[in-house]
Chains A and B, each alone.
Chain A
Amino acid sequence: MSGHDHDHGEDGLSRRKVLECMTWAGTGVLWTITGGVPRSLGIIDSAQAATAPGMTFLQISDSHVGFDKPANPNALGTLEEAVNKINAMPEKPSFMIHTGDITHLSKAAEFDNAERIISQTKLDVHYVPGEHDFIDEDVKLYRERYGRGTKGHGWYSFDAGGVHFVGLVNVVDLKGGGLGNLGAEQLAWLEDDLRGKSKSTPVVLFAHIPLWTVYPQWGWGTEDGARALEFVKGFGSVTVLNGHIHQVMQKVEGNVTFHTARSTAFPQPAPGSAPSPGPMKVEDTRLRAMLGVASINFKQGDQRLAIIDTPLQG
């Protein structure tokens, strides 16, 4: 079990505080973080205007193409709305990451539909799989489409704008009673991948299931996530981007900023606030305020990456 407790007792950030942050993020606040203390700069429009140029990339997550249940009968439609929002951005981002659950049931048509919509951004997209992308019978459709040039079940790294990005897979070989899993092979690869990198290189780790323990009762964490975090301990700036829990959550622990993105398909309840982590049915008018995309800005010399969560509406 990871040593990062979800109530953040160690760094003095109470659970209530985190929930406050979540509420703020829900209204579209730009986060800037200096010296480990998150600070909001204002609501999204003024914040965007205040953002100095640097490298900006986007995160989308959990598009669940194929999902058609009451929580959102048209998950492909809301993905398209997210893509339209991306296309309307005044500054074109450098690229995009997708933190998994592209599809709901790993059907070929779902992958095709997702690709058809996401490609309209005309951005390079770096994917990692969610557990919903590996449930076709032969477990081959995700890797056929997105696995080229990756290792193992689909992990890889790349450099962009002076930042080292590592895409990790923590949805394979899950053990009964356990959480997400990276596995020994991937951890050995990660250690090797980071070896020799200058400690001043900002590092972004992204994976589907949170690498930190958000709420183990619902499986929201990664069994050996703490091992991965040990490898980035010496680095001055580390950002961990995840999906899976369909809501914005952020915490800062030392040099590491943890952040989860909204889904583009349906919201899930706050930890422990419902009988299960299943799709949360909200009033139709509220749905789009609970879906969205994240924009991440990196400026040379800044210790932290600034993350803006933008709902589809509201």
Chain B
Amino acid sequence: MTKINRRDFGLVVAAAMLLPVTTSRADNDTEVHIDNFVFAPAELKVKVGTTVTWTNRDDIPHTIVSAGKFRSKTLDTDDKFSFTFTTAGDYKYFCSLHPHMTGMIKVE
């Protein structure tokens, strides 16, 4: 654990108090990027109520589909898709155009 001085500690506490309980993680923990036909991170753990945003950074369109749960439109380059997870569980998803691309969101 790195040392936190008294002033910074106060800021951290204040910041934490402003945030809803469910987004205790930094913002970039709720983002999934698509690069080179790969979802990164391939597996993401989030709290119930978290909104996860996928961004396609490939030159080829992709989709994000979790059977029976959610389905994005086709995302062209730099397009984004967000989904808010309101129920705990394991959400396996894949790209319906390139089904070898798979990922998982674990909601707890």
Contacts and interface: CB of A to CB of B under 8 A. Distances in A.
Given A276-B38, A278-B36, A279-B60, A176 B92 contact: yes
A161 interface: no
Interface string B61-88: 1010101000001101100000000000
Interface string A210-221: 000000111100
A179 interface: yes
Interface residues of A toward B: which range?
20 to 34
A178 interface: yes
B99 A177 contact: yes
A278 B60 contact: yes
Contacts of A219: 98-101
Interface in B14-50: 36-38
B108 interface: no
Nearest to A215: B100
B93 interface: yes
Given A105-B61, A105-B76, A135-B61, A174 B96 contact: yes
B59 A279 contact: yes
B95 to A, nearest CB: 9
Given A219-B98, A219-B99, A276-B38, A132 B59 contact: no
A217 B36 CA distance: 13
A236 interface: no
A275 interface: yes
B102 interface: yes
A278 B94 contact: no
Interface string A187-217: 0000000000000000000000000000011
B36 A276 contact: yes
Interface in A109-156: 131-132, 135, 137
A69 interface: yes
A217 B97 CA distance: 14
A277 interface: yes
A175 interface: yes
A177 B61 contact: no
Contacts of A106: 74
In the A-B complex, the 10 residue pairs with the closest CB atoms: A176-B94, A276-B36, A219-B100, A69-B59, A174-B99, A135-B74, A276-B37, A275-B36, A131-B97, A178-B99
22 contacts: A69-B59, A69-B77, A70-B59, A105-B74, A132-B61, A135-B61, A137-B73, A174-B96, A174-B99, A175-B99, A176-B65, A176-B67, A176-B93, A176-B94, A176-B102, A177-B99, A177-B102, A179-B99, A216-B100, A217-B100, A276-B37, A276-B58
